[in-house]
Amino acid sequence: MTASSTIAREALSVDVVDAAHALLGATLIADTAAGSPAGTVALRLVEVEAYRGADDPASHSYRGRTARNAVMFGPAGHLYVYFIYGMHYCANVVCLADGVPGAVLLRAGEVTEGHDLARRRRPAARRVAELASGPARLTEVLGIGREHNGADLTDPRSPVRLLQGPPVPPAEISAGPRVGIAVAQDTPWRFWVTGSPAVSAYRRGGKATRRAETGSNGIRG
């Protein structure tokens, strides 16, 4: 057992909300060869969102299995990568039992290794905290793309791996509505490490003109 042992699949074969909490504080490390400059970047996860399967209208797996979301239906611990807005990639960790769809979107992290490479990949970042402050920024600094869809994060030989980290105490975890979705805007399944400078900004989703909740932004914790 070293400090860099990968997370066990069993720890992720649980409900998406429990897995989301467990993922905060964990390390995501990527050794990428192709695409952007090759090298290794690692980060500590500080912001995630849970997406369940059939009962979560905001989830990609809500309307059943398709070619795109197939990985979400497989065993936990694999990476679900999708292409969005014609230019970005987002990465999720698959959860729940094999055959039950669900995943946790990785929204932000604090870069802990490979700062120089991270800066080269994200020249627009003005501060270290901005390197992976957003789901597409996170995949950009790690060099994650289509070719990593389905990668086994629990396999020490995988180019992208999840490493055990000091768990974040529940008292240091905040919760609020998920970012950028047009449905299920009241479900507080976005979780972040309270006070981390790398946590991304909240933005309400597209349509679903919901009445102003008089002063409340839905955030607790």
Nearest to 103 by CA among 144, 153, 173, 41: 153
Candidate list 207, 211, 216, 220; residue touching DNA; CB under 7 A: 207
Q: How far apart are CA 40 and CA 142, in angstroms?
A: 8
Residues 99-158 that bind DNA (CB under 7 A): 103, 105, 122, 124-125, 134-138
Is residue 171 within 8 Å of 221, Cβ to Cβ? no
Is residue 50 within 8 Å of 184, Cβ to Cβ? no
Candidate list 113, 119, 182, 218; residue touching DNA; CB under 7 A: 182
Residues 186-205 that bind DNA (CB under 7 A): 200, 203, 205
Q: How far apart are CA 150 and CA 197, in angstroms?
A: 30
Q: How far is the CB of 5 from DNA (least distance, A)?
A: 26
Q: How far apart are CA 117 and CA 75, in angstroms?
A: 32
Question: Does position 69 bind DNA by CB under 7 A?
Answer: yes
Q: How far is the CB of 3 from DNA (least distance, A)?
A: 29
Residues lying near DNA in the complex (CB under 7 A) are found at: 49, 51, 58-61, 63, 66-69, 72, 80, 82-88, 90, 92, 103, 105, 122, 124-125, 134-138, 178-182, 200, 203, 205-207
